[in-house]
Amino acid sequence: MPELPEVETVRRGLAPVMEGRAIARAQVNRPDLRWPLPARMAERLTGARVTRLGRRSKYLLADLSTGETLIWHLGMSGRILVSGETLGAFQHAHPAPQKHDHVVLDMAGGARITFNDARRFGAMDLIATDRVQEHWLLAGLGPEPLGNAFDEPYLVARLKGRMTPIKAALLDQRVVAGLGNIYVCEALHRAGIDPRRKAGRIAAPRLARLVPVIRDVLAEAIEAGGSSLRDYRRADGELGYFQHNFRAYGRAGAPCPTPGCAGTVARIVQSGRSTFYCPQCQR
C-alpha cells in the first residue's frame, strides 16, 4: 500500500493540473470502492473548482469551491493517472477507457484525471471542509512526521512506558501519521534500533535520534518519487525509484550496508508483516 512518500509524490504531480481549476465533468462508473461512494458524487464534483490539493497521512485532500473536501485513498492497487496535459517532459494523450477506471475527472483546460483500481481497495468520500478533520478516516491521526508537531520531545513522551515493539509503535497511526512498513524498516535500520525492542525501554536519546532519521528517509523517498512496488505509479505514469536505495527492506540475505558492519540483513514476521533488519548492528 502506498505510504506517505508515494502519496505526497502523487499530490505534487496532480497539483499543477488540479489546483485552481474546475472539474468540468466527473464520471463515476460504480457505486462503491472499498466502501460506498458518496451520494450524487458526480453531481457534487462537476463544476466545483479545486482550491487546494493537500495531504493528510496517506490521504489526498482536495478542497472544493463548494465548501466540501474530496478525501481520496489509493488503497493497495489504486493508480491516479493524468492525461491530456504535459507533466514535466511527458505529454500523455487520453488513453482508451480501461475496465477498472472507476472515477474520471475531466478538468477545465483539458486534463483528465483517472482513478484506476483493479482490486477496489481505494476509497473516496466527500465531507464539509470545515469538518474534514472529524472524518472517521482522519480523526485520531497523530502528527505528520515532516511537520513541526513531530519532534524529539513529542516522540519520547508519546512512547514512554509503551511495551509494544518499536516497529509496531511507529506503525501506529495515532503516534505518527503516514509511516508504513517500508519506511519504518528503513528508519530503524539507519538508527541502529532493533525493531523488536520494546518502545518504552529504549533510552530517550536514542528515541529522539529517530526523529531526524525518519524525516531524512521520507525526504529522500519523496525526492526519488517514492518506491514502486507492484502497482504504484506517479501521476505521470512513471515509476518511483527509492526502492533502489533500500538499505534493509526486501534485502534479506544481503550484506548489511552499514559501514563497518559485517552482518547480513534478516527477515522476520511481526504482526503478520515482514520486517527486515540487521541482527548485528541493530540493537
At residue 105 the predicted structure's pLDDT band, cuts being 50, 70 and 90, is very high
Q: In this structure, which amino acid lies at residue 158? A: R
Residue 98 confidence (pLDDT): 82
Q: Kindly report, residue by residue over 228-254, the tens digit of the pLDDT.
A: 444 444 455 444 445 557 889 999 999
Residue 236: the pLDDT is 53
Tell me the catalytic residues: 2-3, 58, 273
C-alpha cell at 243: 526502492
Give residue-wise pLDDT tens across range 69-79. 999 999 888 88
Amino acid at 174: R
Distance CA 248, CA 184 (A): 10
CATH 3.20.190.10: which residues of the chain? 4-134
Query: What pLDDT does 171 receive?
Result: 97
pTM to 2 decimal places: 0.87
Q: How far, in whole angstroms, is CA 38 from its chain's centroid?
A: 23
For 30-47, write each residue's pLDDT tens digit.
999 999 999 999 999 999
Name the H helices within 52-179.
152-159, 166-171
CA distances from 153 to 149, 192, 193, 194, 199 (A): 10, 20, 18, 21, 15
pLDDT of residue 231: 45
Helices (H), 88-203: 152-159, 166-171, 181-191
The residue-averaged pLDDT of 78-106 equals 78
Count of other CB atoms within 10 angstroms of residue 164: 16
d(CA 47, CA 145) in angstroms, rounded, equals 35
pLDDT of residue 228: 41
Give start-end residues of each CATH 1.10.8.50 domain in the chain: 152-277
Whether 257 and 266 have beta carbons less than 8 Å apart is answered as no
Give me the pLDDT at residue 86, please: 57
On whether the CB atoms of residues 173 and 180 are closer than 8 A, the answer is no
**Strand order of the sheet with strand 68-73?**
50-56, 59-64, 68-73, 123-128
pLDDT, tens digit, for every residue of 167-217? 999 999 999 999 999 999 999 999 999 999 999 999 999 999 999 999 999
The whole-number pLDDT of residue 232 equals 40
Q: Which CATH number fits domain 152-277: 1.10.260.40, 2.40.50.140, 1.10.8.50, 2.60.40.420?
A: 1.10.8.50
CA distance 20 to 39: 25
- Which DSSP letter does residue 198 get? B
CATH assignment of 4-134? 3.20.190.10
Which of 53-67, 77-91, 152-166, 256-270 bottoms out in mean pLDDT, i.e. has the lowest?
Answer: 77-91
Mean pLDDT computed over every residue of the chain? 90
Task: Determine the pLDDT at residue 224.
Answer: 79
